[in-house]
Amino acid sequence: MKEEIFDSTSEAFHEAKNAVGKLPKTRDQLLPALEIFQQKIRWLPESAIEYVANHIMLPISEVYAITTGYSELNLFEPDISQWHVCMGVVCDLAGASELMTCTDNIKQVDCQFLCALAPVVVDQHEQLYGRVTVDNLQKWVKK
């Protein structure tokens, strides 16, 4: 596992801690608390997991176990320059695999539920784009 490089003095981290601190100390607040951290700092470093575990008074190991059950919770820092191509069944049929190979730095992602506008790509800010062509995507990624 890669060494965790995370600045726990950042303002965003403090804001997240404050927001989580205001939640009731009950177990049903676990997912909302993890989501607050992920929204503010995009992922869940060890210090965030620890903070949530202490707040809700659960073992850190248990919070980790629960976190790994959700595919959208990131235990590693995401690459912020990354574009994603939807590889759901409909996008696949609409030629998503061509988009996958048309430029570098593209990753695949599961269905984005915009099937009617396939093929679909997702930018760094989670904005979806529909009816994407190879030309479009090459242009956007270069920007």
Partner 1 sequence: MAALRTKYVAPPVPRILIHRGTAGNAVAVSKYGDRIRNILGEKSYSVVDASSDGANWAAPSATVVQGTFMRRFARLDLNGVDDVVECFLGNCGGAEKYAGTGEKGITSRMGRNDGSLGDVLAQGAYAALDRVLQSSPEEIISRLAEIGLTGRGGAHFPVAQKWQFARNHLDQQKFLIVNAEEGEPGVFKDRHMLEGDPHRLIEGILIAHHAVQFESVYIYVNGQAKLARFSLEKALSDADQAGIIGGECWGQDFQLTIHVRSGAGGYVCGEESVILNSIEGKRPVPRYKPPFATDFGLFGKPTVINNVETLCAVTTLFDNPPPQTKLISLSGDVPRAGLYEVPVDGAMTWAGMIANTGRNPQEIKAILVGGPSGEFIHFQQFDDVLEMSKLGAGGIIVLNSFTDIQRITNSLAAYNKRESCGECTPCREGSGRLVNLLENVQENEKKIYELVEVMTESSLCQLGGMAGRPILSALEQFANEFDKS
End-to-end CA separation in angstroms for the chain? 32
> Is residue 136 within the footprint of partner 1 (CB under 8 A)?
no
The residue count of the chain comes to 143
Binding-site member from 27, 42, 107, 139 for partner 1 (CB under 8 A): 27
Contact map string, positions 30 to 59, toward partner 1, x by CB under 8 A: xxx-xx--------------------x-x-
> Is residue 92 within the footprint of partner 1 (CB under 8 A)?
yes
**Cα–Cα distance, 8 to 47 (Å, whole number):** 7
Residue 127 DSSP symbol: -
> Is residue 104 within the footprint of partner 1 (CB under 8 A)?
no
* 135 Cβ contact partners less than 8 Å away, ≥ 6 residues apart: none
Smallest gap from Cβ 125 to partner 1, in A, equals 11
> Is residue 134 within the footprint of partner 1 (CB under 8 A)?
no
Pairing of strands 121-122, 83-86: antiparallel
Orientation angle between helical segments 46-56 and 30-41, nearest 10 degrees: 150
> Is residue 112 within the footprint of partner 1 (CB under 8 A)?
yes
Binding-site member from 3, 72, 104, 135 for partner 1 (CB under 8 A): 72
Identity of the residue, 28 or 104, whose beta carbon is nearer to partner 1 in the bound complex: 28
Identity of the residue, 16 or 120, whose beta carbon is nearer to partner 1 in the bound complex: 120
3-state secondary structure of 14: helix
CB 41 within 8 A of CB 11: no
* Contact footprint for partner 1 (CB under 8 A): 26-32, 34-35, 56, 58, 65-66, 69-73, 88-90, 92-93, 110-118, 120, 126-131
